[in-house]
Structure 1
Amino acid sequence: MPGRWWRSLRVRFEPPPIADSLWRRALAGCPLARRLDPERQARLRQLATVFLARKNFHALAGAVLDDYWRLLIAMQACLPALQQGAASLRGWREILIYPGEFKVRRSHHDDRAGLVTDGDEVRVGEAWERGPLVLSLADVQLDLEQPWDGYNVVVHEMAHKLDMLDGPPDGVPPLVQIPRRRWIEQFQLAYDRLVNTPPDGHTSPIDHYATESASEYFAVVSELHYSQPALLREAEPAIADLLEAFYGRSPAEGCEPPGFRRSR
Protein backbone atom coordinates (compact mmCIF):
# COMPACT_ATOMS: atom_id res chain seq x y z
CA MET A 1 0.00 0.00 0.00
CA PRO A 2 1.62 3.31 -1.07
CA GLY A 3 2.26 5.64 1.85
CA ARG A 4 1.31 9.29 2.26
CA TRP A 5 4.68 10.43 0.91
CA TRP A 6 4.23 8.49 -2.33
CA ARG A 7 0.68 9.77 -2.79
CA SER A 8 1.81 13.38 -2.27
CA LEU A 9 4.63 12.85 -4.79
CA ARG A 10 2.17 11.55 -7.39
CA VAL A 11 -0.14 14.51 -6.83
CA ARG A 12 2.82 16.85 -7.36
CA PHE A 13 4.16 15.31 -10.58
CA GLU A 14 1.14 13.71 -12.26
CA PRO A 15 -0.76 16.20 -14.42
CA PRO A 16 -4.37 16.79 -13.38
CA PRO A 17 -6.81 14.76 -15.48
CA ILE A 18 -9.04 16.33 -18.10
CA ALA A 19 -12.62 16.42 -16.85
CA ASP A 20 -14.93 14.02 -18.71
CA SER A 21 -17.42 16.76 -19.60
CA LEU A 22 -14.67 19.00 -21.01
CA TRP A 23 -13.14 16.13 -22.98
CA ARG A 24 -16.48 15.16 -24.52
CA ARG A 25 -17.18 18.77 -25.50
CA ALA A 26 -13.74 19.22 -27.08
CA LEU A 27 -13.99 15.86 -28.86
CA ALA A 28 -17.29 16.99 -30.39
CA GLY A 29 -15.59 20.20 -31.56
CA CYS A 30 -12.51 18.56 -33.10
CA PRO A 31 -13.42 16.42 -36.14
CA LEU A 32 -9.87 15.04 -36.53
CA ALA A 33 -9.83 13.70 -32.96
CA ARG A 34 -13.43 12.55 -33.15
CA ARG A 35 -12.63 10.24 -36.06
CA LEU A 36 -9.83 8.42 -34.25
CA ASP A 37 -10.53 4.89 -33.08
CA PRO A 38 -11.17 4.52 -29.30
CA GLU A 39 -7.62 3.32 -28.59
CA ARG A 40 -6.02 6.33 -30.28
CA GLN A 41 -8.57 8.66 -28.68
CA ALA A 42 -7.51 7.36 -25.27
CA ARG A 43 -3.83 7.91 -26.11
CA LEU A 44 -4.61 11.39 -27.42
CA ARG A 45 -6.36 12.24 -24.15
CA GLN A 46 -3.32 11.08 -22.16
CA LEU A 47 -0.92 13.04 -24.37
CA ALA A 48 -3.11 16.17 -24.28
CA THR A 49 -3.09 15.93 -20.48
CA VAL A 50 0.71 15.97 -20.52
CA PHE A 51 0.74 18.79 -23.08
CA LEU A 52 -1.52 21.02 -20.98
CA ALA A 53 0.62 20.40 -17.91
CA ARG A 54 3.91 21.19 -19.67
CA LYS A 55 2.95 24.14 -21.86
CA ASN A 56 2.14 27.69 -20.84
CA PHE A 57 -0.54 29.45 -22.88
CA HIS A 58 -0.36 33.22 -23.33
CA ALA A 59 -3.31 35.12 -24.87
CA LEU A 60 -2.03 38.25 -26.60
CA ALA A 61 -3.52 41.34 -28.28
CA GLY A 62 -6.98 40.74 -26.86
CA ALA A 63 -7.25 37.03 -27.61
CA VAL A 64 -9.54 35.20 -25.19
CA LEU A 65 -8.70 31.64 -24.11
CA ASP A 66 -10.54 29.29 -21.80
CA ASP A 67 -10.04 25.64 -20.85
CA TYR A 68 -12.07 24.51 -23.86
CA TRP A 69 -9.90 26.35 -26.40
CA ARG A 70 -6.67 25.38 -24.68
CA LEU A 71 -7.77 21.75 -24.92
CA LEU A 72 -8.76 22.08 -28.58
CA ILE A 73 -5.33 23.48 -29.40
CA ALA A 74 -3.62 20.78 -27.31
CA MET A 75 -5.58 18.00 -29.05
CA GLN A 76 -4.58 19.19 -32.52
CA ALA A 77 -0.98 19.76 -31.43
CA CYS A 78 -0.79 16.24 -30.02
CA LEU A 79 -2.15 14.52 -33.13
CA PRO A 80 1.19 14.73 -35.01
CA ALA A 81 2.98 13.67 -31.81
CA LEU A 82 0.64 10.77 -31.08
CA GLN A 83 2.80 8.07 -32.62
CA GLN A 84 6.03 9.64 -31.36
CA GLY A 85 4.89 9.96 -27.74
CA ALA A 86 5.38 12.53 -24.97
CA ALA A 87 9.14 12.75 -25.56
CA SER A 88 8.44 14.54 -28.85
CA LEU A 89 6.93 17.47 -26.91
CA ARG A 90 10.27 18.36 -25.35
CA GLY A 91 12.40 21.45 -25.87
CA TRP A 92 9.85 24.26 -25.59
CA ARG A 93 7.16 25.48 -23.19
CA GLU A 94 5.34 28.57 -24.48
CA ILE A 95 2.30 28.95 -26.76
CA LEU A 96 1.45 32.48 -27.89
CA ILE A 97 -2.10 33.00 -29.11
CA TYR A 98 -3.14 36.03 -31.16
CA PRO A 99 -6.80 36.69 -32.04
CA GLY A 100 -5.97 36.64 -35.78
CA GLU A 101 -3.09 37.22 -38.18
CA PHE A 102 0.03 38.73 -36.66
CA LYS A 103 3.15 40.43 -37.98
CA VAL A 104 6.73 39.29 -37.53
CA ARG A 105 9.86 41.26 -38.35
CA ARG A 106 12.16 39.56 -40.85
CA SER A 107 15.55 40.37 -42.37
CA HIS A 108 16.13 39.53 -46.04
CA HIS A 109 19.64 39.18 -47.38
CA ASP A 110 20.17 39.79 -51.09
CA ASP A 111 23.29 37.78 -51.97
CA ARG A 112 23.78 39.49 -55.35
CA ALA A 113 23.45 43.05 -54.06
CA GLY A 114 24.95 42.35 -50.66
CA LEU A 115 22.10 44.20 -48.97
CA VAL A 116 20.05 43.34 -45.90
CA THR A 117 16.53 44.74 -45.68
CA ASP A 118 14.03 44.47 -42.84
CA GLY A 119 10.29 44.09 -43.31
CA ASP A 120 7.11 42.83 -41.69
CA GLU A 121 5.52 39.53 -42.70
CA VAL A 122 1.92 38.59 -41.91
CA ARG A 123 1.57 35.11 -40.42
CA VAL A 124 -1.14 32.83 -39.04
CA GLY A 125 1.35 30.55 -37.29
CA GLU A 126 5.00 30.24 -36.46
CA ALA A 127 7.30 27.83 -34.62
CA TRP A 128 10.65 28.87 -33.20
CA GLU A 129 13.48 26.45 -32.53
CA ARG A 130 13.47 25.88 -28.75
CA GLY A 131 11.06 28.82 -28.57
CA PRO A 132 7.31 29.37 -28.59
CA LEU A 133 4.58 28.07 -30.83
CA VAL A 134 2.64 31.07 -32.16
CA LEU A 135 -0.91 30.71 -33.50
CA SER A 136 -3.81 32.75 -34.83
CA LEU A 137 -6.93 31.75 -32.91
CA ALA A 138 -9.16 32.72 -35.83
CA ASP A 139 -7.30 30.28 -38.09
CA VAL A 140 -7.42 27.52 -35.47
CA GLN A 141 -11.19 27.99 -35.38
CA LEU A 142 -11.43 27.99 -39.19
CA ASP A 143 -9.50 24.72 -39.36
CA LEU A 144 -11.94 23.14 -36.91
CA GLU A 145 -14.88 24.34 -39.01
CA GLN A 146 -13.29 23.19 -42.32
CA PRO A 147 -11.22 20.16 -41.34
CA TRP A 148 -10.97 18.56 -44.79
CA ASP A 149 -9.83 21.55 -46.86
CA GLY A 150 -6.10 20.84 -46.96
CA TYR A 151 -4.96 23.21 -44.22
CA ASN A 152 -4.36 23.03 -40.49
CA VAL A 153 -2.16 25.67 -38.87
CA VAL A 154 -1.60 23.71 -35.63
CA VAL A 155 -0.51 20.58 -37.53
CA HIS A 156 1.74 22.71 -39.77
CA GLU A 157 3.55 24.35 -36.86
CA MET A 158 3.78 21.11 -34.88
CA ALA A 159 5.42 19.48 -37.90
CA HIS A 160 8.06 22.21 -37.62
CA LYS A 161 8.44 21.45 -33.91
CA LEU A 162 8.99 17.74 -34.64
CA ASP A 163 11.40 18.68 -37.42
CA MET A 164 13.42 20.81 -34.98
CA LEU A 165 13.80 18.13 -32.31
CA ASP A 166 17.23 17.22 -33.72
CA GLY A 167 18.41 20.68 -34.77
CA PRO A 168 17.52 23.43 -37.25
CA PRO A 169 14.54 22.61 -39.52
CA ASP A 170 15.52 20.59 -42.57
CA GLY A 171 12.41 18.54 -43.35
CA VAL A 172 13.80 15.44 -41.64
CA PRO A 173 12.39 14.83 -38.14
CA PRO A 174 13.92 12.19 -35.88
CA LEU A 175 13.08 8.81 -37.44
CA VAL A 176 12.91 5.53 -35.55
CA GLN A 177 11.49 2.83 -37.83
CA ILE A 178 11.76 4.66 -41.16
CA PRO A 179 15.13 4.50 -42.97
CA ARG A 180 16.57 8.01 -42.97
CA ARG A 181 18.05 7.61 -46.48
CA ARG A 182 14.69 6.57 -47.92
CA TRP A 183 13.00 9.57 -46.30
CA ILE A 184 15.59 12.04 -47.63
CA GLU A 185 15.64 10.57 -51.14
CA GLN A 186 11.85 10.46 -51.57
CA PHE A 187 11.26 13.90 -50.06
CA GLN A 188 14.01 15.44 -52.18
CA LEU A 189 12.54 13.97 -55.37
CA ALA A 190 9.04 15.19 -54.49
CA TYR A 191 10.31 18.61 -53.45
CA ASP A 192 12.25 18.99 -56.72
CA ARG A 193 9.16 18.05 -58.72
CA LEU A 194 7.18 20.80 -57.02
CA VAL A 195 9.97 23.37 -57.35
CA ASN A 196 10.22 22.67 -61.07
CA THR A 197 6.48 23.31 -61.55
CA PRO A 198 5.82 26.94 -62.55
CA PRO A 199 3.41 28.68 -60.15
CA ASP A 200 1.12 29.68 -63.05
CA GLY A 201 0.90 26.04 -64.15
CA HIS A 202 0.49 24.64 -60.66
CA THR A 203 -2.07 21.82 -60.48
CA SER A 204 -0.72 19.83 -57.53
CA PRO A 205 -2.76 19.69 -54.31
CA ILE A 206 0.50 20.55 -52.56
CA ASP A 207 0.50 24.31 -52.01
CA HIS A 208 3.31 26.06 -53.87
CA TYR A 209 4.30 27.65 -50.55
CA ALA A 210 5.97 24.29 -49.85
CA THR A 211 8.74 25.26 -52.29
CA GLU A 212 10.04 27.80 -49.74
CA SER A 213 12.25 25.11 -48.17
CA ALA A 214 12.47 21.41 -47.40
CA SER A 215 11.11 22.19 -43.93
CA GLU A 216 8.07 23.99 -45.33
CA TYR A 217 7.47 21.12 -47.75
CA PHE A 218 7.35 18.66 -44.82
CA ALA A 219 4.95 20.92 -42.89
CA VAL A 220 2.63 21.47 -45.86
CA VAL A 221 2.34 17.78 -46.77
CA SER A 222 1.76 17.04 -43.07
CA GLU A 223 -1.32 19.27 -43.29
CA LEU A 224 -2.50 17.26 -46.29
CA HIS A 225 -1.94 13.99 -44.45
CA TYR A 226 -4.40 15.12 -41.79
CA SER A 227 -6.92 16.86 -44.04
CA GLN A 228 -6.74 15.54 -47.63
CA PRO A 229 -4.76 12.27 -47.61
CA ALA A 230 -6.39 10.94 -50.79
CA LEU A 231 -5.21 13.94 -52.81
CA LEU A 232 -1.74 13.65 -51.31
CA ARG A 233 -1.57 9.96 -52.20
CA GLU A 234 -2.68 10.68 -55.74
CA ALA A 235 0.00 13.39 -56.15
CA GLU A 236 2.88 11.82 -54.22
CA PRO A 237 2.21 8.21 -53.17
CA ALA A 238 5.70 7.68 -51.74
CA ILE A 239 5.33 10.76 -49.51
CA ALA A 240 1.88 9.61 -48.40
CA ASP A 241 3.35 6.23 -47.41
CA LEU A 242 6.18 7.82 -45.43
CA LEU A 243 3.84 10.18 -43.57
CA GLU A 244 1.48 7.33 -42.71
CA ALA A 245 4.44 5.40 -41.31
CA PHE A 246 5.53 8.46 -39.33
CA TYR A 247 2.16 9.79 -38.10
CA GLY A 248 -0.08 6.76 -38.35
CA ARG A 249 -3.24 6.43 -40.42
CA SER A 250 -4.94 9.73 -41.15
CA PRO A 251 -8.27 10.32 -39.39
CA ALA A 252 -9.39 12.10 -42.57
CA GLU A 253 -9.44 8.92 -44.68
CA GLY A 254 -12.72 8.87 -46.58
CA CYS A 255 -13.86 12.30 -45.36
CA GLU A 256 -12.22 14.94 -47.47
CA PRO A 257 -14.25 16.34 -50.38
CA PRO A 258 -12.28 15.65 -53.59
CA GLY A 259 -10.42 18.58 -55.04
CA PHE A 260 -11.50 21.21 -52.51
CA ARG A 261 -8.86 23.55 -51.10
CA ARG A 262 -9.18 26.82 -49.27
CA SER A 263 -6.94 29.66 -50.45
CA ARG A 264 -3.84 30.08 -48.28
Structure 2
Amino acid sequence: MIFRGWPSFLARFRAAVPPIDDTRWNQAVARVPLARALDAPRLHYLRQLTALFLHTKRFHALGGAELDDFWTLVIAMQASLPALPRGPKAFKGWTNVLVYPGEFNVRRSHHDARSGVVTERDDTLIGEAWDRGPMVLSLADVKLDIEAPWDGFNVVIHEMAHKLDMLAAPANGVPPLLSGMNRREWIATMQSAFDRIVKQVERGRETMIDPYAAEAPEEYFAVTSELHFSQPALLRQAEPKVAQLLAAFYGPSPAA
Protein backbone atom coordinates (compact mmCIF):
# COMPACT_ATOMS: atom_id res chain seq x y z
CA MET A 1 0.00 0.00 0.00
CA ILE A 2 1.33 3.44 -0.96
CA PHE A 3 0.26 6.35 1.23
CA ARG A 4 -0.25 9.52 -0.76
CA GLY A 5 0.46 13.07 0.28
CA TRP A 6 2.90 12.74 3.11
CA PRO A 7 6.04 11.41 1.28
CA SER A 8 6.32 14.77 -0.56
CA PHE A 9 5.65 16.59 2.71
CA LEU A 10 8.38 14.53 4.34
CA ALA A 11 10.80 15.39 1.54
CA ARG A 12 10.98 18.95 2.86
CA PHE A 13 12.60 17.64 6.02
CA ARG A 14 15.17 15.35 4.42
CA ALA A 15 17.99 17.87 4.41
CA ALA A 16 17.53 18.60 8.12
CA VAL A 17 16.58 15.17 9.47
CA PRO A 18 19.58 12.94 10.24
CA PRO A 19 19.06 9.52 8.66
CA ILE A 20 19.06 6.44 10.86
CA ASP A 21 22.24 4.42 10.48
CA ASP A 22 21.71 1.10 8.65
CA THR A 23 23.19 -1.03 11.41
CA ARG A 24 21.18 0.69 14.12
CA TRP A 25 17.97 0.44 12.09
CA ASN A 26 18.43 -3.21 11.23
CA GLN A 27 19.13 -4.09 14.85
CA ALA A 28 15.94 -2.36 15.97
CA VAL A 29 13.82 -3.99 13.24
CA ALA A 30 15.18 -7.38 14.26
CA ARG A 31 14.03 -6.75 17.84
CA VAL A 32 10.60 -5.23 17.07
CA PRO A 33 8.25 -7.82 15.52
CA LEU A 34 5.60 -5.18 14.72
CA ALA A 35 8.07 -3.51 12.36
CA ARG A 36 9.63 -6.71 11.09
CA ALA A 37 6.23 -7.94 9.89
CA LEU A 38 5.63 -4.93 7.60
CA ASP A 39 5.93 -5.19 3.84
CA ALA A 40 8.92 -3.44 2.23
CA PRO A 41 7.16 -0.16 1.22
CA ARG A 42 5.64 0.41 4.65
CA LEU A 43 8.91 -0.47 6.38
CA HIS A 44 10.68 2.09 4.19
CA TYR A 45 8.13 4.79 5.11
CA LEU A 46 8.35 3.77 8.75
CA ARG A 47 12.10 4.42 8.70
CA GLN A 48 11.59 7.94 7.36
CA LEU A 49 8.86 8.73 9.86
CA THR A 50 10.90 7.30 12.73
CA ALA A 51 13.84 9.54 11.79
CA LEU A 52 11.51 12.53 11.83
CA PHE A 53 10.09 11.50 15.22
CA LEU A 54 13.61 11.27 16.67
CA HIS A 55 14.48 14.65 15.17
CA THR A 56 11.42 16.50 16.45
CA LYS A 57 10.80 14.87 19.84
CA ARG A 58 12.90 15.22 22.98
CA PHE A 59 13.39 12.18 25.20
CA HIS A 60 13.78 12.59 28.96
CA ALA A 61 14.82 9.71 31.24
CA LEU A 62 13.23 10.15 34.67
CA GLY A 63 13.43 8.27 37.95
CA GLY A 64 16.70 6.60 37.05
CA ALA A 65 15.53 5.12 33.74
CA GLU A 66 18.42 3.84 31.62
CA LEU A 67 17.38 5.16 28.23
CA ASP A 68 19.94 4.63 25.46
CA ASP A 69 19.86 5.20 21.70
CA PHE A 70 18.45 1.73 21.05
CA TRP A 71 15.40 2.21 23.27
CA THR A 72 14.69 5.72 22.00
CA LEU A 73 14.69 4.23 18.50
CA VAL A 74 12.37 1.38 19.56
CA ILE A 75 9.93 3.85 21.11
CA ALA A 76 10.07 6.16 18.08
CA MET A 77 9.56 3.23 15.71
CA GLN A 78 6.46 1.97 17.53
CA ALA A 79 5.03 5.49 17.90
CA SER A 80 5.44 5.96 14.15
CA LEU A 81 3.53 2.79 13.23
CA PRO A 82 0.04 4.24 13.89
CA ALA A 83 1.14 7.41 12.08
CA LEU A 84 1.95 5.72 8.76
CA PRO A 85 -1.25 6.73 6.90
CA ARG A 86 -0.93 10.36 8.07
CA GLY A 87 2.79 11.03 8.02
CA PRO A 88 4.35 14.02 9.81
CA LYS A 89 0.98 15.61 10.58
CA ALA A 90 0.41 12.85 13.12
CA PHE A 91 3.18 14.30 15.31
CA LYS A 92 1.77 17.82 15.60
CA GLY A 93 1.16 19.65 18.86
CA TRP A 94 3.65 18.11 21.29
CA THR A 95 7.39 17.62 21.78
CA ASN A 96 8.46 15.60 24.82
CA VAL A 97 8.63 11.88 25.62
CA LEU A 98 9.09 11.18 29.34
CA VAL A 99 10.37 7.72 30.21
CA TYR A 100 10.30 6.16 33.68
CA PRO A 101 12.00 2.85 34.51
CA GLY A 102 8.65 1.24 35.37
CA GLU A 103 5.23 2.18 36.73
CA PHE A 104 4.85 5.77 37.86
CA ASN A 105 2.42 7.61 40.10
CA VAL A 106 0.23 10.52 39.03
CA ARG A 107 -1.80 12.62 41.46
CA ARG A 108 -5.34 13.39 40.31
CA SER A 109 -7.65 16.10 41.62
CA HIS A 110 -11.42 15.85 41.28
CA HIS A 111 -13.78 18.74 41.93
CA ASP A 112 -17.36 17.80 42.75
CA ALA A 113 -19.46 20.60 41.25
CA ARG A 114 -22.41 19.94 43.55
CA SER A 115 -20.61 19.83 46.88
CA GLY A 116 -17.58 21.93 45.99
CA VAL A 117 -15.36 19.28 47.57
CA VAL A 118 -11.97 18.63 45.96
CA THR A 119 -10.55 15.13 46.44
CA GLU A 120 -7.14 13.84 45.46
CA ARG A 121 -5.87 10.36 44.67
CA ASP A 122 -2.73 8.74 43.31
CA ASP A 123 -2.97 6.58 40.19
CA THR A 124 -0.26 4.08 39.23
CA LEU A 125 0.24 4.08 35.46
CA ILE A 126 2.43 2.54 32.77
CA GLY A 127 1.66 5.23 30.19
CA GLU A 128 -0.07 8.54 29.73
CA ALA A 129 -0.58 11.14 27.00
CA TRP A 130 -1.28 14.78 27.82
CA ASP A 131 -3.22 17.05 25.48
CA ARG A 132 -0.56 19.37 23.99
CA GLY A 133 1.87 17.83 26.48
CA PRO A 134 4.24 14.89 26.70
CA MET A 135 3.84 11.21 26.10
CA VAL A 136 4.82 9.37 29.31
CA LEU A 137 5.96 5.74 29.23
CA SER A 138 7.19 2.93 31.45
CA LEU A 139 10.38 1.53 29.92
CA ALA A 140 9.77 -1.84 31.58
CA ASP A 141 6.47 -2.14 29.71
CA VAL A 142 8.00 -1.00 26.43
CA LYS A 143 10.48 -3.86 26.83
CA LEU A 144 7.74 -6.32 27.75
CA ASP A 145 5.75 -5.37 24.65
CA ILE A 146 8.52 -6.27 22.22
CA GLU A 147 9.09 -9.57 24.03
CA ALA A 148 5.36 -10.43 23.83
CA PRO A 149 4.26 -8.57 20.69
CA TRP A 150 1.05 -10.47 19.93
CA ASP A 151 -0.65 -10.48 23.34
CA GLY A 152 -2.97 -7.54 22.65
CA PHE A 153 -1.04 -4.94 24.67
CA ASN A 154 1.35 -2.20 23.58
CA VAL A 155 1.82 0.89 25.72
CA VAL A 156 3.41 3.00 22.95
CA ILE A 157 0.60 2.20 20.51
CA HIS A 158 -1.97 2.99 23.22
CA GLU A 159 -0.51 6.40 24.00
CA MET A 160 0.05 7.24 20.33
CA ALA A 161 -3.62 6.45 19.70
CA HIS A 162 -4.45 9.09 22.32
CA LYS A 163 -2.12 11.54 20.54
CA LEU A 164 -3.93 10.95 17.24
CA ASP A 165 -7.24 11.37 19.08
CA MET A 166 -6.01 14.74 20.40
CA LEU A 167 -5.00 16.18 17.02
CA ALA A 168 -8.20 18.19 16.61
CA ALA A 169 -9.64 18.35 20.13
CA PRO A 170 -9.34 16.78 23.59
CA ALA A 171 -9.45 12.99 23.35
CA ASN A 172 -12.97 11.63 22.90
CA GLY A 173 -12.50 8.49 20.83
CA VAL A 174 -13.16 10.28 17.53
CA PRO A 175 -9.81 11.20 15.96
CA PRO A 176 -9.53 13.10 12.68
CA LEU A 177 -10.36 10.49 10.05
CA LEU A 178 -8.71 9.79 6.73
CA SER A 179 -10.31 11.06 3.54
CA GLY A 180 -13.13 8.77 2.51
CA MET A 181 -13.95 7.57 6.03
CA ASN A 182 -17.44 8.33 7.31
CA ARG A 183 -17.45 10.21 10.61
CA ARG A 184 -21.07 9.28 11.44
CA GLU A 185 -20.33 5.62 10.85
CA TRP A 186 -17.25 5.85 13.10
CA ILE A 187 -19.18 7.49 15.93
CA ALA A 188 -22.15 5.11 15.71
CA THR A 189 -20.00 1.97 15.50
CA MET A 190 -17.58 2.93 18.26
CA GLN A 191 -20.31 4.21 20.59
CA SER A 192 -22.34 1.00 20.21
CA ALA A 193 -19.29 -1.14 20.90
CA PHE A 194 -18.31 1.01 23.87
CA ASP A 195 -21.83 0.77 25.31
CA ARG A 196 -21.71 -3.01 25.00
CA ILE A 197 -18.48 -3.39 26.95
CA VAL A 198 -19.67 -0.93 29.60
CA LYS A 199 -22.79 -3.08 30.17
CA GLN A 200 -20.70 -6.25 30.33
CA VAL A 201 -18.38 -4.73 32.92
CA GLU A 202 -21.26 -3.32 34.98
CA ARG A 203 -22.89 -6.78 35.06
CA GLY A 204 -19.64 -8.43 36.13
CA ARG A 205 -19.27 -10.41 32.93
CA GLU A 206 -15.95 -11.45 31.43
CA THR A 207 -15.00 -9.41 28.37
CA MET A 208 -12.88 -10.44 25.38
CA ILE A 209 -11.51 -6.89 25.18
CA ASP A 210 -9.56 -5.56 28.17
CA PRO A 211 -12.21 -4.09 30.54
CA TYR A 212 -10.11 -0.94 30.85
CA ALA A 213 -11.68 -0.04 27.50
CA ALA A 214 -14.94 0.61 29.41
CA GLU A 215 -13.40 3.55 31.29
CA ALA A 216 -14.21 6.09 28.56
CA PRO A 217 -14.71 6.28 24.76
CA GLU A 218 -11.14 7.51 24.30
CA GLU A 219 -9.82 4.52 26.24
CA TYR A 220 -11.93 2.19 24.14
CA PHE A 221 -10.31 3.61 21.02
CA ALA A 222 -6.79 3.28 22.48
CA VAL A 223 -7.32 -0.27 23.78
CA THR A 224 -8.78 -1.49 20.49
CA SER A 225 -5.91 0.22 18.67
CA GLU A 226 -3.52 -1.98 20.66
CA LEU A 227 -5.54 -5.01 19.54
CA HIS A 228 -5.46 -3.94 15.91
CA PHE A 229 -1.66 -4.02 15.92
CA SER A 230 -1.01 -6.94 18.22
CA GLN A 231 -4.07 -9.23 18.35
CA PRO A 232 -6.42 -8.38 15.48
CA ALA A 233 -8.02 -11.84 15.37
CA LEU A 234 -9.43 -11.30 18.86
CA LEU A 235 -10.72 -7.86 17.88
CA ARG A 236 -12.39 -9.26 14.76
CA GLN A 237 -14.07 -11.93 16.89
CA ALA A 238 -15.20 -9.52 19.60
CA GLU A 239 -16.16 -6.50 17.47
CA PRO A 240 -15.88 -7.13 13.71
CA LYS A 241 -17.17 -3.68 12.72
CA VAL A 242 -14.65 -1.95 14.99
CA ALA A 243 -11.89 -4.13 13.54
CA GLN A 244 -12.94 -3.07 10.05
CA LEU A 245 -12.89 0.63 10.95
CA LEU A 246 -9.46 0.43 12.54
CA ALA A 247 -8.06 -1.41 9.53
CA ALA A 248 -9.27 1.49 7.38
CA PHE A 249 -7.86 4.02 9.86
CA TYR A 250 -4.41 2.46 10.43
CA GLY A 251 -3.94 0.25 7.39
CA PRO A 252 -3.45 -3.52 7.54
CA SER A 253 -2.33 -4.97 10.85
CA PRO A 254 1.25 -6.29 10.90
CA ALA A 255 0.04 -9.28 12.93
CA ALA A 256 -0.34 -12.55 11.07
Contact 2:213-2:219 within 8 A present in 1 as well:
yes
Q: Give CA-to-partner distance per residue, 1:186-231, whole Å, 9 cap, x none.
A: 0010001111113564333211111111100100000110111001
Alignment correspondent of 2:188: 185
Alignment correspondent of 2:137: 135
Contact 1:202-1:208 within 8 A present in 2 as well:
no
Alignment correspondent of 1:208: 211
Q: Which residue type is aligned with residue 30 of structure 1?
A: V
Q: Give CA-to-partner distance per residue, 1:117-158, whole Å, 9 cap, x none.
A: 011110000000000000000000000101111110000000
Is 2:79 the partner of 1:77? Answer: yes
TM-score by length of 2: 0.91
Q: Which residue type is aligned with residue 17 of structure 1?
A: P
SS in 1 for 2:118: strand
Is 2:202 the partner of 1:226? Answer: no
- Using the alignment, how far apart are the partners of 1:250 and 1:12 within structure 2? 28
SS in 1 for 2:83: coil
TM-score by length of 1: 0.89
Is 2:204 the partner of 1:195? Answer: no
- The alpha-carbon distance between structure 1 residues 83 and 62, as it changes in their structure 2 partners (threshold 3 A), is same
Is 2:88 the partner of 1:86? Answer: yes
Q: Which residue type is aligned with residue 147 of structure 1?
A: P
- The alpha-carbon distance between structure 1 residues 11 and 211, as it changes in their structure 2 partners (threshold 3 A), is closer
Alignment correspondent of 1:167: 169
Moved over 4 A (4+): 10-13, 110-114
Gaps of 5+ in 2: 1-11
- Using the alignment, how far apart are the partners of 1:215 and 1:250 within structure 2? 20
Alignment correspondent of 1:149: 151
Contact 1:190-1:236 within 8 A present in 2 as well:
yes
Is 2:120 the partner of 1:118? Answer: yes
What's the CA shift for 1:114? 4.4
Alignment match of 1:246 (pick from 242, 246, 249)? 249
The structure with the largest alpha-carbon Rg is: 1
- Using the alignment, how far apart are the partners of 1:105 and 1:135 within structure 2? 16
Q: Tell me the number of residue pairs that the alignment of Structure 1 and Structure 2 aligns.
A: 244
SS in 1 for 2:60: strand
- The alpha-carbon distance between structure 1 residues 113 and 233, as it changes in their structure 2 partners (threshold 3 A), is same
Gaps of 5+ in 1: 1-9, 254-264
Contact 1:199-1:208 within 8 A present in 2 as well:
no
- Using the alignment, how far apart are the partners of 1:112 and 1:235 within structure 2? 39
Contact 2:151-2:231 within 8 A present in 1 as well:
yes
- Using the alignment, how far apart are the partners of 1:122 and 1:135 within structure 2? 12
Identity across the alignment (%): 61
- The alpha-carbon distance between structure 1 residues 209 and 134, as it changes in their structure 2 partners (threshold 3 A), is same
Alignment match of 1:95 (pick from 56, 72, 97)? 97
